[in-house]
Amino acid sequence: MSSNGNGKVPTGWAQDRVYIFDTTLRDGEQSPGFGLDGEAKLLFAKQLEQLGVDVIEAGFPISSPGDFEACRTIAREVRGPMITALARAVNADIEAVWGAIGDAERPQIHIVLSASDIHIQRKLGLTRSEVIRRGVNAVQFARNLCAEVEYSPEDAGRADRDYLVETVEAMLDAGATAINIPDTTGYCLPNEFGGLIEYVVSNVRHPERAIFSVHCHNDLGLATANTMAGIMGGARRVECTVNGIGERAGNTSLEEIVMLLKVRQGMLGLEHAIDTTQIVPTSLMLTELTGVGVQPNKAIVGANAFAHASGIHQDGVLKDRLNYEIMKPEDVGLDDNRIVLTARSGRHAFRHRLNMLGLTVPEDRMQEAWAGFLRLADARKEVTDADLRTLMA
C-alpha cells in the first residue's frame, strides 16, 4: 500500500490521483425528468469515455428490462472506463448486475445496504449485526462472480462512526475492493464528513485492500464541499454526475470537482484523467438528451459561468482576464468568455464589441452612439450584435 499519511490506496491505484466515478446514468438518470432510453444512455456513455472518466455506473439492472439491456449494451460497447451497476444486497440483484455488465472490459458489482440506525430500524427493521451479516453474504456472493466489488454503506453520513468502521472491516474481510462512503441525505458539514472519512480510513485494519470513495448529495448545497473534504480525508475516488443531476437536489457535480482539482492543483497536488475540454460538450449533450437545461449561474457549465456583464468587470477582463477569471473558458471547451452588453455595461465593453463587429464610430459621434446604446439597453435585458448593427445603421 502506498500512503502519504492522508490518502490510502491499494496497489494498482495511484496515490496522488483522484479517480472519477460517474453516476449520471444511475443516480442522475433515476431522478424525475431525467429518464433516458437505452440508445441515449449508450450515446452518453460513449461521451463519458471521451471525457476520460475512470468508472461509469451504467444503471440499476434489476429495476427494469430496459435498464438491464442498456447496461449490457454499454458494458459491451464502451471500452476504457470500468463499468459498474447497482445492486441491493440480495442475490437476485447481484445476478442481474453480473448478467448486465459481465462482458465489460473491467466490470465491477456495486452493492448498497444501509448503515445508519435510522435506516436499519425504520427502513429495514433489522439489527446492526443482521445488516453486517447480510452485507458480508452479498459481498462474498458478488466476489464469486466478479473480481471487483464495491460496497456502499448507505446513509453513512448519519451512521455511528464505530459501527461504520466495523461494517467496512467486515466488507473488506469479505472481499470488497472498493468502499464508498455516501452522505446519502446531504446532511453532513464538510469538516464532519472529511473527519468521518479520515476516521474510517485510519481505523479499519486493512485500508490497503480497497480504494476509498465518497458519494455526496446536495440537499444543503454542500455536495462539492463535502466531496472535497472527503478527498482531504483520504478518499481517492469520487462519485459524481454531469451537471450535478441526481436524486432530490442532485449529486456532486463532476465538472465542479474536476475543475477544483485542476484550478487548485498547486494547493492539492492531485491529478485526474479528465479531458476538461470535453466538459461543456458533455454537459450540452446531457441537456439535449434529457431536455433539461442547467441554471444560467451554474458553476462551470451555466450560460453565465464565463460571462461578464457589469462595466467594472468588463473593463477589468478586457484589460487582463486574470482580473476576474480563475480558469480559462477554453479549458472547459468554450470558445471564449462572453462580454454581455446590458445597461450595466461600460464604454470599454461597448467599444470593444463595436470593434469586434467591424463597426467604426467617429470619435465625435461616440457620445451619441453611447446614449443610443443606453436607451436600448434600458429597454432590454441584453443588447445583441444584431441590435448593435441596427443601432449603428
Positions that interact with Zn ion (CB under 5 A):
27
Cα torsion 152, 10, 52, 16: sign: positive
Helix (H, G, I), strand (E, B) or coil at 371: helix
Contact 57, 85 (CB under 8 A): yes
Residue 154 touches which of ligand KIV, Zn ion, none (Cβ within 5-8 Å per kind): ligand KIV
Rounded Cα–Cα distance for residues 263 and 205 (Å):
35
Question: Shortest approach of Zn ion to residue 100 CB, angstroms?
Answer: 19
Nearer to Zn ion, 110 or 298 (CB): 110
Nearer to Zn ion, 27 or 155 (CB): 27
Sort residue 206 into left (φ over 0), alpha (ψ -120 to 50) or beta.
beta
Q: Kindly state the cell numbers that stand for 363.
A: 470619435
Residue 169 touches which of ligand KIV, Zn ion, none (Cβ within 5-8 Å per kind): none
Amino acid letter for position 124: L
Rounded Cα–Cα distance for residues 67 and 274 (Å):
26
Question: Shortest approach of ligand KIV to residue 157 CB, angstroms?
Answer: 9
Nearer to ligand KIV, 48 or 369 (CB): 48
Residue 197 touches which of Zn ion, ligand KIV, none (Cβ within 5-8 Å per kind): none
Question: Shortest approach of Zn ion to residue 217 CB, angstroms?
Answer: 6
Q: Kindly state the cell numbers that stand for 132.
A: 453486517
Residue 112 touches which of Zn ion, ligand KIV, none (Cβ within 5-8 Å per kind): ligand KIV
Q: What share of the chain is helix, strand, coil (3-state, %, to 5)?
A: 50, 15, 35
Question: Shortest approach of ligand KIV to residue 132 CB, angstroms?
Answer: 17
Strand partners, 108: 84
Question: Shortest approach of Zn ion to residue 196 CB, angstroms?
Answer: 16
- Distance linking the first and last C-alpha atoms of the chain: 70
> Which residues contact ligand KIV (rule: CB under 6 A)?
27, 86, 112, 152, 154, 180, 182, 184, 215, 217
Residue 259's closest CA among 309, 196, 189, 306? 306
Nearer to ligand KIV, 154 or 315 (CB): 154
Residue 31 touches which of ligand KIV, Zn ion, none (Cβ within 5-8 Å per kind): none
Nearer to ligand KIV, 36 or 86 (CB): 86
CB atoms within 10 A of CB 243: 28
Residue 135 touches which of ligand KIV, Zn ion, none (Cβ within 5-8 Å per kind): none
Question: Shortest approach of Zn ion to residue 319 CB, angstroms?
Answer: 44
Question: Shortest approach of ligand KIV to residue 313 CB, angstroms?
Answer: 38
Nearer to ligand KIV, 114 or 345 (CB): 114
CB atoms within 10 A of CB 14: 14
